[in-house]
Chain A
Amino acid sequence: MQAFIVAERVIAQVVKDKRTIGLMLVAPLFVLFLMYVILGSASDEAAVGLVEPPENFGEVLARSAETVEFGSSAEAEEALKDLEVHAIVDFTGDSPEILIEGGDVSKSGQALRVIRGAFTEFAVLRSTAVNEELMAAVSRLQERAAQLTWEEAEMELPEPAVIGEPEISFLYGGEDAEQFDQLAPALMGFFIFFFVFIIAGVSFLRERSTGTLERTLATPLKRSSIVFGYFIGFFLFVTIQTVLIQLFIVNVLDVPQSGNYFLLLVVNLVTASVALALGLLLSSFARTEFQLFQFIPIVIVPQVFFSGIFDLSDAPVWVEFISGIMPLTYAAHALQNIMIRGAAFTDIWLDAAVLAGFVGAFVLLNMQVLKKQRPV
């Protein structure tokens, strides 16, 4: 019950501080919106220059990239240097030559991908045409043979190898799923982690430096109650944050949400608990707010890399290890699975359990540190 007294006071303090409450509730929405706009406006269309392309090749390529035809190789290379195109496919030699711009990494990669795709498709088209021609030639031969011998020529004909258009369907999401849709849940986890860490850390640091922590501990309050008071107080803000972010990304930014809202809230609350316990803990190793902020590049920034924004499937073992000790790895994994794949609790309980383990460990350490303030 004492924890509620502390919680009430923590809430009152944050609410009285308009800037802090604004930062916590509005800033994530603003940054999410920016991210949405930026990711949405990046065009992934690459332009490819063609020199003397064979019949149909240009049409095949045009389905997935912008194409420009040039009269000569020199002309095409000039355009490549001016960044009018990102790659050239030159058919003037014996075999086609591909020249990639390479400076714009993503566009060059995209260009290479579509050119390769076009060659494959072109090859299929060509072989289909050859197949058909062959089949026709064989039929003609058969007819001729029959005329010559008055007898049907016995011949087993293979089925023409024609591959039909494949049918594409998605297990989760759909064709119009955007990169942002995948990032949004992870970003939500990150924001909650970041803001709770900062605000709780600074609040606790201030309590330490102004002596209110000591004064509070001079009352009959138990050490644990002050930590749990912070938990309860911040749960309120995290709940509001979760609701706001969800409303915003689902209704305004059109991110598909196929999961359970309650489960999302649970994961967010556990994530916030990790951030809170860590913030309180690290605040005791900082004398000033500036020193506390020095923890951000060590503790917060690396977590961004593991929050699902980057694909780590090819990362070396030690990176995997670091990823394994980053709380946000688990938070992002759980949140993405809930929002994108509609995961149930049975799918994410392991993530939640690991996060809860972090909370437990940090809370115990906090108790230990608070012993310095009051031994009983």
Chain B
Amino acid sequence: MIEVADYSQSFGKKEVLRDVSFTIHKGEIVGLLGPSGSGKTTLIKSIIGMQRPTGGTISVMGETQPTLAVSKSIGYMAQADALYGDLSARGNLRYFGKLYGLKKKELAERVEEVLRFTDLTADASRPVHLFSGGMKRRLSLAIALIHEPPLLLLDEPTVGIDPKLKRVFWQEFEELRAKGVTIVVTTHIMDEAERCDRLLLIQDGRLLDGGTPQELKDEFGSIEGAFMRKEGV
């Protein structure tokens, strides 16, 4: 699904990621862990093709990024909510749905479906600038799901969301995985990390370990332990 080979990314003189290589298979939920500023968002953006890698290659579903060819297959939830405040929740969903090529009937159905799933049906007609932080987060996720993409890239999807809804989200992620959807999710939260099939740790611009949460736990006692050890705390 995703193949990253010797990928490096720098901005001007600042090198953020160096020689990163990994593979993500279809139907996996992969957690991307790393301290703030380590380059998680940078990696995600390169995978969706928003920037050209300064070194190495990234290919998604057999296509080398950046390309428009696979954008339709990717659902993306940015770390900062990118929503049109003047438009309603439904307006935002319809706009992005159309950009992904959904046609009338399908669009209307999908909009209602993702609204229901993110529990926003009651507020669907209100302008988004009146939404709370968590509601905006939910709408961002709804937009990522609107076109039923086989690959989901979620940059800290559960920040500002209450525990109950968080559980609903993770149940949905697992259901999607069962349908063969691949999910990459960045997180700081350990119990979320534990629900991933595999974890990628980024530290000092390097990809440190790939392993299942269990493997990391066995080696370091706990996932936090892995973190601490690596950070040298």
Contacts and interface: CB of A to CB of B under 8 A. Distances in A.
Contacts of B167: none
Contacts of B178: none
Interface in A1-21: 2, 5, 8-9, 12-13, 16-17
A375 B48 CA distance: 11
B96 interface: yes
A2 B99 CA distance: 7
Contacts of B50: 214, 217-218, 373-375
A43 interface: no
A5 B95 contact: yes
Contacts of B74: 218
Interface in A198-244: 210-212, 214-222
A9 to B, nearest CB: 5
A376 interface: yes
B7 to A, nearest CB: 15
B99 A216 contact: yes
Nearest to A376: B66
B35 to A, nearest CB: 22
Task: Kindly name the residue among B81, B98, B99 whose own CB sees the greatest number of chain A CB atoms within 10 A.
Answer: B99
B120 interface: no
A375 B52 contact: yes
A214 B91 contact: no
Contact of B67 (A5, A16, A212, A376): A376
Nearest to A212: B82
Nearest to A210: B82
Contacts of A222: 68
Contacts of B85: 210
Interface residues of B, number: 30
Given A218-B71, A374-B50, A212 B100 contact: no
Nearest to A225: B99
B231 interface: no
A375 B66 contact: yes
Contact of A210 (B66, B83, B99): B83
A284 to B, nearest CB: 16
Contacts of B76: 215, 218
Interface string A17-30: 10000000000000
Nearest to A20: B86
Contacts of B100: 219-220
A14 to B, nearest CB: 8
Interface in B92-112: 95-96, 98-101
A221 B49 CA distance: 13
B71 A375 contact: no
Main secondary structure of the interface of A (DSSP, over half): helix
Contacts, number: 74
B171 to A, nearest CB: 26
A373 B50 CA distance: 7
B87 interface: yes
A90 B71 CA distance: 87
Nearest to A4: B98
Given A218-B48, A219-B71, A12 B82 contact: no
B84 interface: yes
A13 B95 CA distance: 12
Contact of B78 (A13, A211, A219, A373): A211
Given A218-B71, A218-B74, A220-B100, A9 B87 contact: yes
Task: Kindly name the residue among B82, B83, B85 whose own CB sees the greatest number of chain A CB atoms within 10 A.
Answer: B82
Nearest to A5: B98
A16 B101 CA distance: 25
B127 interface: yes
B82 A221 contact: no
Contacts of B84: 9, 13, 212
B82 A215 contact: yes
Contacts of A373: 50
A222 B101 CA distance: 13
Nearest to A374: B50
B91 A12 contact: yes
A372 to B, nearest CB: 9
B116 interface: no
A5 B86 contact: no
B168 interface: no
B10 interface: no
B125 interface: no
A79 B125 CA distance: 72
Interface string A317-341: 0000000000000000000000000
Interface of B: 48-52, 66-68, 71-72, 74, 76, 78, 80-87, 91, 95-96, 98-101, 127, 143
Given A218-B50, A218-B74, A220-B99, 9 more contacts: A12-B86, A16-B86, A210-B80, A212-B82, A217-B50, A218-B49, A219-B96, A375-B52, A376-B66
Leading 8 A-B pairs by shortest Cβ distance: A211-B82, A215-B82, A219-B99, A16-B86, A220-B71, A375-B52, A376-B66, A5-B98
29 contacts: A5-B99, A8-B95, A9-B84, A9-B91, A12-B87, A13-B86, A13-B87, A16-B86, A16-B87, A17-B86, A210-B85, A211-B78, A214-B50, A214-B82, A215-B78, A216-B99, A218-B49, A218-B50, A218-B78, A219-B71, A219-B99, A219-B100, A220-B72, A220-B100, A373-B50, A374-B49, A374-B66, A375-B51, A376-B68
Interface of A: 2, 5, 8-9, 12-13, 16-17, 210-212, 214-222, 373-376
